[in-house]
Structure formats: structure tokens, C-alpha cells
Structure 1
Amino acid sequence: MASHIGKLPVAIPAGVEVTINGQEFSAKGPKGSDAFEIPEGITAQVENNEVVLTPADDERSTRAKHGLARSIVASIVKGVHDGYSKKLQIVGTGYRAQLKGKSIEFSLGYSHTITVDPPEGISFEVPDANTVIVNGTDKQAVGQAAANIRKLRAPEPYKGKGIKYADERIRRKAGKAGK
């Protein structure tokens, strides 16, 4: 029995070119290109403008990798066609970000500024001083770059100051009881 997720074909949108060479899967689209090594025991082929992955045997480890491989292939196809982005908000008096070339310079209440260079395949946007958008074709790399930026000054629970994801809610704690 194969994976329920792995059985689903991955639709290839217009403008995306998919190449399968043995176990090497690669996709090229308007936003860039990406590649993935399909695990042993799983075969992939393009049928009717869709990528279909099939397990060679019914071994438990192959079934587990089957669904994972299909999910990774789907995220690569979506990434080269649409791209991924994470929006971060900076909350706090005097906390701000500004673009310096391709890098971002943060003022986060420390005695110094912090400069963050984008990893390969990642780009930054700073629409205003309190918003940073991380863009790229690789879902994992975009998430990791956003997490690294958030880690510079994680939101604290008392005043909510720090860098947070745009859709994140910070659970606030009550401060000391006043006399």
C-alpha cells in the first residue's frame, strides 16, 4: 500500500519546466530554479503535465519517503512558479530596519546595529521601518532566514516588543502587581 499523499500527482503550471534524470528532479520557472534528489525506491515521471511519484516496493521506509518526496516536489514546483515569502513585524519604540544594498540593518535597542546578509536565493524587502519581507523559491530557506531574523530580538511577553511573524499572536503576561 502506497502513501495517500504520495499517490497524488503534482500539477505542473504553465511556465514551469520539469526535468527528471534518474533520481534527479529539477524544476525551472519564472522565479528561479531548484533541484531535489528523489530517494531510492521511488520513481518519478511526467504524465499529462503532472509529476507522478511511485514507490518501487511496499517496504515501510519507502512508503514514508514516498509522501515526503511528493511534498518536496510540490513545494519546489510552487516555489519556482510563485515563490514563498514570510512577513515579519518589528514592534517597539526605536526598533526599526532599513535596507542597505541587499542587506538589512536593524536597530533593536542594543548599543549597536545588527546587519543581516541574505543567504543565497533569498531577497529582503523593507516596505517601511517596521516591516521586513523575506522572499525566495525554497520554502525551507525562506522559513529559516525569517526565523534567524526573529531570533535577533524575539518578542517578549510583557510589552510584546521584538520581531514577530505578521500572523503571530504574542500571549501577554500581567506585570508585577502595583502597590
Structure 2
Amino acid sequence: MSRIGKLPIAIPAGVKVIYNAPEIKVEGPKGKLSRSVMDAVSVVVAEGQITVGRADDSTKSRAAHGLTRTLINNMVIGVSKGFETALEINGVGYRAEAKGNVLNLSLGYSHPINFELPAGISVEVDKMTKLKVIGIDKELVGQTAAKIRDFRGPEPYKGKGIKYADETILRKAGKTGKK
């Protein structure tokens, strides 16, 4: 039995869960999310908690058991609390500015980058060098943060570029001159 899959998911106050096979819908104060559930697992919503089980011990159902439980748990946390990922911009003249659902980035290229944010995602910019990607869908928040980071990833010599706030950049020594 999956250690993660067998744990029940507590439904917090203000969150409503509806399961009509094969789709589960979660509504909360921050918004609504829905996801299709695989046939290999069963979901039971009762008494303020969600339990995920599996019909048999086939490879497919064992693989889907813990994954399905984690995805549903992320949906419940997302509609009740939300998710955020912090990014930092390092470099002279590198800056960001949020205007509506467009993120304007100046990252040392000959042109500015105008990145249109997906629906359900917002970005807060602090001092033009610190970003917070905020949303209720954990997968979409992480994917958006990764796309923003890919515009100018951190380089190992001076550390210039966009990095996650908790990321450590392994620095390299530069060239040394002849002695």
C-alpha cells in the first residue's frame, strides 16, 4: 500500500468537494479547480475527508494511487490557501514590471520581453528585482515560474539572471591571467 496514497485528505472549512466519476471538482474561497481521475483508483468523499483507494494491485493502479492523492491534496490546498513561488533577478539593468496580465522584463537583450501570464496566475513585483508568482493551481504556478526563469537563467560566473529565491548558484572561477 502506498504510504502517501492511504493518508486521508482533510477538507477545511469553506471548501466544497464534488466527485462524479471520473471528475473531481473542488471549490473554495480562492476559486474552483477540477481534474479528471484515472480509472485505476477510487475516490470517496465523506465526513469532512477524502480517501483515495485502488481496486487492485496492478502496476497501473499502484502508480496512480499516491499521485492521485497528491494531486487532489494540492487542489484542496490551492483553493483554500493558494500557492506562490518567489524569483529574484540579479544583474545591472535587469528589471521587471507587471502591468495587468503582462509581465515586462528587461534582461540585457536588445529588446524588452513581454510575457503574457496564463489565466489564474498573477505576479507581484517588489523593487523591480523580486517576483512572486501566485495562483491556486500548483502545477501552473510552477510552470509559469519556470518559463519566466528560462528567459535568462542564472549564469555561474557572476550569478546574473533570474533564479528561484531559495536556489543556490554554484559559482565558477573566471579565467586567470598569465603570471
Coarse TM-score class (shorter-chain normalised): over 0.9
Matches within 5 A, 1:141-156: 141-156=140-155
CA distance in 1, matches of 2:177, 2:155: 20
The one-letter code of the counterpart of 1:120 is A
Measured on the aligned residues, the alpha-carbon RMSD in Å equals: 1.0
Distance 2:140 2:2 in 1: 26
Question: How many equivalent residue pairs?
Answer: 178
Give the deviation of 1:47 after TM superposition: 2.2
Which shows bigger deviation, 109-118 or 95-104? 95-104
Offset at residue 100 of structure 1 (A): 1.9
Which residue type is aligned with residue 64 of structure 1?
A
Q: CA deviation at 1:43?
A: 1.4
Determine the C-alpha separation between the residues in 1 that align with 2:121 and 2:9: 25
TM-score by length of 2: 0.96
Post-superposition CA distance 1:87-140 (Å, at most 9, x none): 110000000011122211111111110011111211111122101111111111
Aligned residue type for 1:45:
V
The alpha-carbon deviation at position 178 of structure 1 amounts to 2.7
Q: 2:5 aligns to what SS in structure 1?
A: helix
Percentage identity across paired residues of the two chains: 50
For residues 71-94 of structure 1, the C-alpha deviation after alignment (integer angstroms, 9 at most, x for no partner) is 100111111111111111000000
Q: Structure 1 residues 31-40 or 156-165, which shifts more?
A: 31-40
- Structure 1 segments of 4 or more deviating over 2 A? none
Measure, in 2, the Cα distance between the counterparts of 1:41 and 1:64: 9
5 Å-filtered alignment, 1:85-104, equals 85-104=84-103
The residue aligned with 1:31 is 30
Map of 1:1-179 to 2, 5 A cutoff?
2-179=1-178
Q: Which runs of 5+ in 1 are unaligned?
A: none
In 1: Cα distance, 2:137 partner to 2:100 partner:
22
Kept in 1, the 8 Å contact 2:90–2:162? The answer is yes
- Counterpart-to-counterpart distance in 1, 2:15 and 2:90: 39
Structure 1 residue 41, shift from structure 2 partner? 2.7
What one-letter code is carried by the residue in structure 2 that aligns with 1:118?
A: L
Gaps of 5+ in 2: none
- Tell me if the contact between 2:40 and 2:64 (Cα under 8 Å) persists in the aligned partners: no
Which stretch of structure 1 is more off in the superposition, 120-129 or 139-148?
Answer: 120-129
Q: TM-score, normalised by structure 1?
A: 0.96
The residue type paired with residue 87 of structure 1 is A
Could you give the per-residue CA deviations for residues 23-45 of structure 1, whole angstroms, max 9, x where no partner exists?
Answer: 21110111111111111032111
